[in-house]
Amino acid sequence: MKRIAQILFVFCLSLSSMSSELDSFTGRHDWKLRDASKIINDKANESILIAISKANNKSENCSEKKLYKELRKFFKNHYQGEFVPFILKSKDIDKIQTKFDDTVYRDFKWYEAFSLAAVKRLYKNSAAYALNMGGIFIGSDKFEHMFGRGFKYFESYYLEGKSLRYILKFGQNSEKFFLGAQTTGVYSQGDLAANFNGMRFWNDMLLLRPDVLDQPAGPYIECQEDKWVQVKKLDFNHYIDLSFDEATNCSKFRNKKLLSKVLNRIDELERETGKPHHCPFVSENLSVLEEKYGPTIGASILNFQGHGSLEEE
């Protein structure tokens, strides 16, 4: 019974967070998605202004706590925040969703990826949407990682003073267990990249502390005469790069059996189309990312060596 209770607990955690997986391979050569950057950035900046107004109404002395609370009413996951549902529902954002039964994950048995199976049963699909941000194809779930786990990284590193190695290891362990491989079968390097850049996104809001890559985009908000004021527009493309693209930053899988199932489906795509599909899909300019993140961070969030299995580590 104890084991069953643990499984159910993990199951609920998984469903309440990021249970969707993007198939970055099926139909990839045919994706002709319009750049969604302007629509998404405009909505984000509109959300920031609303959050600032509400925070100012609830405090007369620029309370950081109240500001973050109001911002997180917008920037969270698709169950608790307002921003991600906008992305998912907006008809103005060009996006594509592959039916789970057509994805490279379709051979996963329910007991091998039970959160994907459960979400598929509840919502008829468990695949994330693909969209174009500045010419880079990412999954809609990456925003949830930026806002959710990214905020946890921000709290741990910037507010609590935990080490960089600690938060990177924390992210890896989360992805190995209840937010990744144990529940979906997938250990997503792209999710880890989104988590890390989400930390930078949250820090840039006020930029009271140095950017970990020494490439800040903020502050977006400042305290002026005891009131919060937006002083700069947010552009998500400052944070989004090819490390978010799971066809380039290659995922790993819980075991060799799941890895084999995915590789077989990708081989099938190559036979059917006569075009390359294996990860990394983009091979040029990857050294730029390695230089950007450096050896410590890069070892945690980047994998350009092709799909692998956690059993091999």
To the nearest whole percent, how much of the chain has pLDDT over 90? 77
Q: What's the confidence (pLDDT) of residue 78?
A: 58
CA dihedral 169→175→251→238, nearest 10 degrees, is -70
Q: What's the confidence (pLDDT) of residue 169?
A: 97
**Residue 26 within a domain:** yes
Cis peptide leading into 210, omega within 30 of 0?
Answer: no
Q: What's the confidence (pLDDT) of residue 83?
A: 94
**Cβ(17)–Cβ(179) below 8 Å:** yes
Q: What's the confidence (pLDDT) of residue 100?
A: 86
**Residue 309 within a domain:** no
**Residue 4 within a domain:** no
Provide the H-helix boundaries in the chain.
Answer: 2-15, 37-58, 64-72, 83-89, 114-123, 141-147, 149-154, 164-176, 181-184, 189-206, 256-273, 286-301
Q: What's the confidence (pLDDT) of residue 12?
A: 45
In which residue are the tokens 């941000």 written? 133
Tell me the pLDDT band of 138, cut-offs 50, 70 and 90: very high
| Residue predicted with more confidence, 109 or 257 | 257
In which residue are the tokens 């984000």 written? 44
* Two tokens, residue 22: 């993007």
Q: What's the confidence (pLDDT) of residue 307?
A: 98
Tell me the pLDDT band of 182, cut-offs 50, 70 and 90: confident
| Average pLDDT along the chain | 90
**Cβ(233)–Cβ(41) below 8 Å:** yes
Low-confidence winner among 77-81, 123-127, 185-189, 216-220 (lowest mean pLDDT): 123-127
**Residue 32 within a domain:** yes
**Residue 253 within a domain:** yes
The predicted-structure confidence for 54-85, as pLDDT tens digits, reads as follows: 999 998 899 999 999 999 999 986 567 789 99
In which residue are the tokens 């930029």 written? 207
Q: What's the confidence (pLDDT) of residue 1?
A: 47
**Residue 113 within a domain:** yes
* Two tokens, residue 241: 């790069």
**Residue 111 within a domain:** yes
User: Does the pLDDT at position 175 exceed 80?
Assistant: yes
User: Does the pLDDT at position 5 exceed 60?
Assistant: no
- Structural domain including 166 reads 20-300
Q: How far apart are the first and last CA of the chain?
A: 31
Burial class of 279 by CB neighbour count within 10 A (0 to 12, 13 to 18, 19+): buried
Tell me the pLDDT band of 19, cut-offs 50, 70 and 90: low
Q: What's the confidence (pLDDT) of residue 309?
A: 97
Average pLDDT in the 153-173 region? 97
Q: What's the confidence (pLDDT) of residue 119?
A: 54
**Cβ(81)–Cβ(147) below 8 Å:** yes
The predicted-structure confidence for 259-310, as pLDDT tens digits, reads as follows: 999 999 999 999 999 999 999 988 887 999 999 999 999 999 999 999 999 9
User: Does the pLDDT at position 116 exceed 90?
Assistant: no
Number of domains in the chain: 1
Cβ contacts of residue 250 below 8 Å, gap of 6+?
189, 279, 280, 303, 304, 305, 306, 307, 308
